[in-house]
Amino acid sequence: MKPLQHYKGSIDNYRNLFEVTKSKIYLNHASTGPMSLNAKIAIEECIKVYQKQAEFDFKTYFEKLKYSRGIFARLINAEPEEITFTHNTSEGIFIALINLPLKNGDEIIVMNETFPAVRYVVQYNLPKITKKFINFCGEDPVKIVGKNLNRKTHAVVLDHTQFFTGEMVDLLPLSEFLRNRGIYLIVDGIQSIGAIEFDTKKTQVDFLATGGGKWLFGPGGTGFLYVNKKNFKVLKRLHTGWLGVDWKSFENFETSPPLFDDARMFEMGTRNVIGISGLTENVKILLEFGMKNVEKRILKLKNQLRDGFKRLKIPVITTDKGPHSGIITVKPENPRQIYEFLIKNQITISLRNNCLRFSPHFYNTEEEIEEVLKILKKFKK
């Protein structure tokens, strides 16, 4: 999508879309992303429809969903039919796992450092499947997976970006390695999608789940699951319902249309059109700026932070080896006191495991980063 004319040439035009920039320096997108004005307007328009006429007409309802599906697909260079709407990342991981053609006693490899959302879904929803948890951070993903494979291994589940340190798994060689062995790759992408460019045509994962509440600016309770179309025919058809079919109208329910033969089969019932409409507008902002440009800008700001931490002698635990995410985490002395000092100075970050996690987005500025470093220096004095 080409940049809109009034957005060209100035990051300030984008900053004006985020009211949070008027009151604070917000570097906490790995936790929760602030909603854009565009999303707010779209949500309010939906609410007006529900207030005035209770519902969208049949045609408009499905046209809005079709449009959003296409926008989400463009974000990751997928096909619209490979996208199913979800409410969060956990739901996407759940849909992927329960639809794999697994048998009792089969095994899946799970990233040990994964966010609890993945761990709980894996641990409690596949009681007859063996789970092998292994460490990925600091390891060559192909080598570590290769060491732990056996003939019963049928899937690997992992976070693309580790939520705490920001370390990323190099998916390109791993996806090829697993594809050649007929092993499914299920990826939690919530700390990547919206921050870095992701191309499903290049990195051919089997499933990619994400939620809207972080790097995509919300609202929470939205998300989508990418399902590689090569898997459509072999997947089980679980987690489906009456809106997983192609109704031509809502006037005659005597017939029973077959399920969609693509990712839409996993959409059970009424979609969250309000939330999806808001998320769509946020994704459009990223597409207009260009995901390559978004990633480039985030990494520039992250490197500016890294250089500043080095000058201030604040230990950085996030690796400087690629691939690179939008997260940088430090382990200073007195982390809670520093965190509270930053909050007092209208700087929002995360306190995690006695460390400080910074996660800038594309609309943040170099001046903001310098101000953060200035405040940190002030604390150290």
pLDDT of residue 4: 39
Distance, CA of 226 to CA of 296 (rounded, Å): 24
> Residue 166: CB partners within 8 Å, gap ≥ 6?
30, 191, 318, 325, 326, 327, 328, 329, 357, 359
Q: Is the pLDDT of residue 7 over 60?
A: no
β-strand 328-330 against 350-352: which pairing, if any? unpaired
State pLDDT tens for residues 9-42.
589 999 999 999 999 999 999 999 999 999 999 9
What's the longest Cα–Cα distance across the chain? Answer: 75
Q: Is the pLDDT of residue 338 over 90?
A: yes
What confidence category does residue 251 fall into, taking pLDDT thresholds of 50, 70 and 90? low
What confidence category does residue 255 fall into, taking pLDDT thresholds of 50, 70 and 90? confident
pLDDT of residue 117: 84
Q: Is the pLDDT of residue 373 over 90?
A: yes
Q: Is the pLDDT of residue 99 over 50?
A: yes
Report the pLDDT averaged over residues 113-127.
91
Report the pLDDT averaged over residues 78-82.
98
SS (H, E, C) 243-290: CCECCCCCCCCCCCCCECCCHHHHCCCCCCHHHHHHHHHHHHHHHHHC
Domain 43-287, what fold?
A: Aspartate Aminotransferase; domain 2 (3.40.640)
Domain boundaries along the sequence of the chain: 5-35+290-380, 43-287
> Residue 255: CB partners within 8 Å, gap ≥ 6?
none
Enumerate the H helices of the chain as residue ranges: 11-15, 37-53, 58-75, 89-98, 116-125, 141-148, 171-179, 273-289, 291-311, 335-344, 366-380
Domains 5-35+290-380 and 43-287 share a fold: no
Distance, CA of 205 to CA of 208 (rounded, Å): 7
Report the pLDDT averaged over residues 215-225.
97
pLDDT of residue 363: 98
- Tell which residue, 237, 108, 140, 121, has the closest CA to residue 190: 121
State pLDDT tens for residues 132-176.
999 999 999 999 999 999 999 999 999 999 999 999 999 999 999
- For residue 187, list its beta bridge partners: 158, 208
Instruction: Yes or no: say if 297 and 362 are a contact pair by the CB < 8 Å rule.
Output: yes
What confidence category does residue 5 fall into, taking pLDDT thresholds of 50, 70 and 90? very low
- Buried-exposed string 23-49: b where 16+ CB fall within 10 A, e elsewhere: ebbbbbbbeebbbbebbeebbeebeeb
Q: Is the pLDDT of residue 78 over 60?
A: yes
- Tell which residue, 242, 231, 274, 227, has the closest CA to residue 87: 274
Q: Is the pLDDT of residue 118 over 50?
A: yes
What confidence category does residue 3 fall into, taking pLDDT thresholds of 50, 70 and 90? very low
pLDDT of residue 381: 66
What confidence category does residue 287 fall into, taking pLDDT thresholds of 50, 70 and 90? very high
Instruction: Yes or no: say if 295 and 323 are a contact pair by the CB < 8 Å rule.
Output: no
What confidence category does residue 108 fall into, taking pLDDT thresholds of 50, 70 and 90? very high
Question: For residue 126, what is the DSSP state?
Answer: -
Q: Which CATH number fits domain 5-35+290-380: 3.30.450.20, 3.10.180.10, 1.20.120.1200, 3.90.1150.10?
A: 3.90.1150.10
pLDDT of residue 6: 40
Question: For residue 193, what is the DSSP state?
Answer: B
For residue 23, the number of C-alpha atoms closer than 13 Å in the C-beta half-sphere is: 7
